[in-house]
Amino acid sequence: MKNLLLVALFMMSHLLSSTATARDASEGFQAYQAGDFDRALAIWHPLAENGSPDAQFGLGLLYRHGQGVEKNFDQSIEWLEKAAEQGQADALLELGLSYAMGIGRRPDEQKAQEYFLASARKGQVHAQINTGYSYLHGIGTDQNYEQAVHWFQTAADRGNANAQYELAMLYAHGKGTAIDLPKANALFQEAAQQGHREAQYNIGYSYLSGKGIEKNYGAALKWFAAASQQGSVDALFAMGTMANAGLGVKADKIQAHNWWTIAAIEGHPEAPNALKRLEAEMTAEELEAAKREEERWNPPAKN
């Protein structure tokens, strides 16, 4: 999970949505985003030599990925460090990721966290998430739930779905803050509306169970369906449970069998036993109908 999150944030940091502030360096970022790496290099190199932190950061990206130049991690780190020394937030984040993932440098979780924190303090939203994650799990620093809440809240306030989800989980379990299920659900909802799969499942479960929110089986099914489309096996299992019990839909053993079969194929630990119990209650005709339905089923891609 740790590596997945870091890889995801590593990719997001290259979107460059708020990187360039200097007018000349911004032309380099425009060329970079257009895939014209030779032009980006031609713009950035003289600016970087003259001390532009944004251009230095840009050169760090080019050397890291071998874009317009031969890939060279040492050169990448050198330019990123020059930019970071001037407080360039994206360069600080990239250095943190370099040490976290062992790109061009030996892995060093403590140093990674120091760079994440420095970048987070300058407003880099992905660094704020990684800082919160480091405090949450005690990676490169002492575990500190209050600090995790602070940094996830900071990023969540800017509309980041990953931060909203992580903050919701802290409110749901009372880590670093008092348990507040309504607030957790509000955050799950915000993240779910942005397509966050686990948030979609969690808000669906809240509507199903009525924890911190009024029960609403229709809303539960809506969010479970959205999460299942993104490959959530928990959502698939929940949809089978609702079909079997007739929650929000007419009770349907065949439909429940379909959902639980797919959940079992996708690795849900409870699905095989649920299927056994269900099949013991089904008629031969129902089992045959379920089999025919499943032959037409195309399971969602597993993430």
- Would you state the pLDDT for residue 10? 46
Identify the pLDDT of residue 47: 96
pLDDT of residue 9: 47
In the chain, where does DSSP find H-type helix? 2-12, 23-33, 37-49, 53-65, 73-85, 89-101, 109-121, 125-137, 145-156, 161-173, 181-193, 197-209, 217-229, 233-245, 253-265, 271-281, 284-295
**Structure-model confidence comparison of residues 128 and 14, the more confident one:** 128
Instruction: Indicate if the pLDDT at residue 115 is higher than 50.
Output: yes
Q: Does the pLDDT of residue 16 top 80, yes or no?
A: no
Taking alpha carbons only, the member of 114, 54, 111 closest to residue 82 is: 54
Query: Residue 54: pLDDT band by 50, 70, 90 thresholds?
Result: very high
CATH, range 1-143: 1.25.40.10
pLDDT band at 296 (very low <50, low <70, confident <90, very high): confident
| Residues ≥6 apart with Cβ < 8 Å to 133 | 2, 5, 139, 148, 166
Query: Which whole number is the average pLDDT over 85-101?
Result: 97
- pLDDT 10s digits, 27-43: 999 999 999 999 999 99
160-177 pLDDT, tens digit each: 999 999 999 999 999 999
Residues 223-232: tens digit of each pLDDT? 999 999 999 9
Identify the three-state secondary structure at position 74. helix
pLDDT surpasses 50 at 25: yes
Domain borders along the chain are 1-143, 152-230, 233-303
pLDDT in tens, 235-261: 999 999 999 999 999 999 999 999 999
- The residue ranking higher by pLDDT, 20 or 112, is 112
Asked if pLDDT for residue 15 goes beyond 50, the answer is: no
Nearest one of 101, 88, 21 to 57, comparing CA atoms: 88
Architecture of domain 152-230: Alpha Horseshoe (1.25)
What does pLDDT average to over the chain? Answer: 92
- Whether 1-143 and 152-230 share one fold: the answer is yes
C-alpha closest to that of 124 among 77, 177, 84 = 84
State the pLDDT at residue 4.
37
pLDDT value of residue 295: 80
Residue 6 has pLDDT above 70, yes or no: no
Spatial distance between the Cα atoms of 19 and 54, rounded to a whole number of angstroms: 7
pLDDT exceeds 90 at position 1: no
Percent of the chain with pLDDT over 90: 88
Closest CA to 97 of 202, 217, 6, 230: 6
- Alpha carbon 33 to its chain's center: 23
| pLDDT for the residue numbered 299 | 53
Is residue 201 pLDDT above 70, yes or no? yes
What span, in angstroms and rounded, lies between the C-alpha atoms of 80 and 66?
15
Question: Could you please report the per-residue DSSP string of 18-43?
Answer: T---SHHHHHHHHHHHTT-HHHHHHH
pLDDT of residue 240: 97
Q: Judge whether residue 17 has pLDDT over 90.
A: no
Residue 56 has pLDDT above 70, yes or no: yes
DSSP string, 239-271: HHHHHHHTSSS---HHHHHHHHHHHHHTT-TTH
